[in-house]
């Protein structure tokens, strides 16, 4: 880790770190869902829908709740 990153990491609160990690996870879910949809398999489309509606939406809700703290 570079010195600048280390200083930035120290300056972040645990809440900021949690929010950043949740945002990263949400992005990963959205990308995975898009890849599944692109494959266009019967089950892939259903799994992509579940990922977007349940997982990604749930993470987004948690991010908003944490931001209000």
Read off the pTM.
0.71
What pLDDT, in 10s, does the model give residues 14-69? 899 999 999 999 999 999 999 988 888 888 888 998 998 899 999 999 999 999 98
Cα 45 to Cα 50: distance, rounded to the nearest angstrom: 9
Q: Could you state, in order of their start, the residue ranges of all structural domains in the chain?
A: 13-67
Instruction: Provide, for the chain, the percentages of residues in helix, strand and coil under a 3-state DSSP scheme, each rounded to the nearest 5.
Output: 90, 0, 10
Q: Which single residue is written with the structure tokens 């990922």?
A: 51
């Amino acid at each position: 880790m570079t010195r600048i990153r280390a200083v930035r990491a120290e300056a972040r609160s645990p809440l900021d770190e949690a929010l950043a990690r949740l945002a990263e996870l949400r992005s990963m879910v959205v990308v995975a869902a898009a890849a599944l949809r692109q494959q266009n398999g019967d089950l892939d489309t259903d799994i992509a829908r579940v990922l977007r509606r349940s997982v990604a939406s749930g993470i987004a809700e948690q991010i908003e709740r944490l931001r209000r703290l």
